[in-house]
Amino acid sequence: MRPPEFWNHRDGRDSAPMIRMLLSPISWVYGWAAARRIQTTKSYDAGVPVICVGNATLGGTGKTPVAIYLLNSLRRMGVDVVGLTRGYGGTVKGPLPVQKQHTSADVGDEPLLLARHAPVWVAAGRDDGARAAVSHGAKVIVMDDGHQNPLLEKTLSLLVVDAETGFGNGCVFPAGPLREKLSDALDRADAIILMKPSPKYDIDNHLAAQLKGKIVIPAYLAPSDDVPKGKLYAFAGIGRPNKFFDSLRRHGGEIVGEYPFGDHYKYKDGDIEQLFMLASELEAGLITTEKDYVRLPKGYRKGVSVWPVKVQFEDELTLRRVLHPVVEAGKNGSKRRG
């Protein structure tokens, strides 16, 4: 799904006030159902700390790079940590650990990326996944997504927010991008990871006011590798493909063409053949994201460059303070928070 443009505008003609008004009754029902599900579901206590990396809106905000950072950091600290995800886009219901033979069609793209850094469990039911992970020795669980999922009790909830789009028009789906009422999402968040497009980006005053009183940790996505030289034709099927295209340009990429696909798009042979043809006409090479690369048909991957990114925190000390009680509990084999 590609988000409609009016989701990003709070007022004026671009905010499509009539469409928003017509969708408001559905939004109210959607928000009410989300709140009721969270309030009435008895969460499973896994007996170990659970760090949830979630968001309040539909679409990509940078959750997976944050989850990867946490997995790597906790492992370096000597904690037996595992990733947990529902495996969006995959056919496997689990619970089962991600193995080398799995493809994105089996488990989705995000589990494949997470599994490069730590053991990862995929489960349609997060509670079932946590039981399985703990039974196999997990001392801390990092859950990629799930802020609105009440099945598993969370020890620490990190809410990742896109600094450019914030919370859009502030409306609940389908009138806006929110998965639930904003106040409810913020109330359950222990800290906000504010994902900026670049270190020098100035935060919008409206967004700053919405986050007032919360622990806010600014961050941005930095490239792991240099952008390939020469003409490039970029494509991406992520929450906001333009973020990828713009970032490539900011880092010196000579982008002569771009093609956005829907989030988690399942590429077919014909799609890649068309992309190769378009790139060839412009005498350019194809480039995409890590998430997209693992969804490409294997026979076509050799001709496509991938541009990986990693998260950089501007205030890593505050993040460490937030994580410290969870890290100590994981090392001590308990769930206690400081």
Domain containing 119 — which CATH number?
3.40.50.300
Angle at 180 between CA 174 and CA 184, to 5 degrees: 155
21-50 pLDDT, tens per residue? 899 999 999 999 999 999 999 999 999 999
Q: 196 and 266: one domain?
A: no
Question: What distance in Å separates the CA atoms of residue 5 and residue 94, rounded to the nearest whole number?
Answer: 36
Q: Which two tokens stand for residue 254?
A: 């000579």
The reply to whether 261 and 200 lie within a common domain is: no
Which H/E stretch holds residue 135? helix 126-135
What is residue 335's predicted lDDT score, i.e. its pLDDT?
66
Residue 234 in any domain: the answer is yes
Distance CA 294, CA 327 (A): 31
Structural domain count, the chain: 2
Q: Are residue 214 and residue 235 in the same domain, yes or no?
A: no
Same domain? For 237 and 293 the reply is: yes
Predicted local confidence at residue 221, as pLDDT: 92
**DSSP-assigned states of every residue in 8-52:** G-SSSGGG-HHHHHHHHHHHHHHHHHHHHHHHHS--B--SS-EEE
The answer as to whether 38 is a domain residue is no
CB 263 within 8 A of CB 108: no
The boundaries of the domain holding residue 154 are 50-222+312-332
Are 160 and 300 found together in one domain? no
Interstrand relation of 120-122 and 96-97 (parallel, antiparallel or unpaired): antiparallel
* Residue 325 reports pLDDT greater than 50: yes
Q: Does 188 lie in the same domain as 292? A: no
β 216-223/309-313 pair status: antiparallel
Q: Is residue 10 part of a domain?
A: no
Handedness of CA 84, 87, 93, 94 (dihedral sign): negative
Please report whether residue 28 resides in a domain: no
Q: Is residue 35 part of a domain?
A: no
Same domain? For 198 and 237 the reply is no
User: How many Cα atoms occupy the beta-carbon half-sphere of 118 within 13 Å?
Assistant: 30
Residue 141 placed within a domain? yes
Direct distance between the N- and C-terminal alpha carbons of the chain, in angstroms, rounded to an integer: 41
Looking at per-residue confidence, does 161 or 243 come out higher?
161
Task: Examine the domain organization and report whether 260 and 319 are in the same domain.
Answer: no
Residues 197 and 269 in one domain: no
Specify the 3-state DSSP secondary structure of 139: coil
Q: Are residues 317 and 212 in the same domain?
A: yes
Tokens standing for 245? 């295209």
183/249 same-domain check = no
Residue 292: strand, helix, or coil:
helix
Same domain, yes or no: 262 and 199: no
Do the Cβ atoms of 167 and 183 come closer than 8 Å? no
| Structure confidence at residue 334 as a pLDDT band (50, 70, 90) | low
The reply to whether 45 falls in a domain is no
Length of the chain: 338
Helix (H, G, I), strand (E, B) or coil at 269: helix
Res. 337: pLDDT tops 60: no
Reading the block at residue 222, the tokens are: 């930095």
**Band of pLDDT at residue 147, cut at 50, 70 and 90:** very high
Has residue 15 been placed in a domain? no
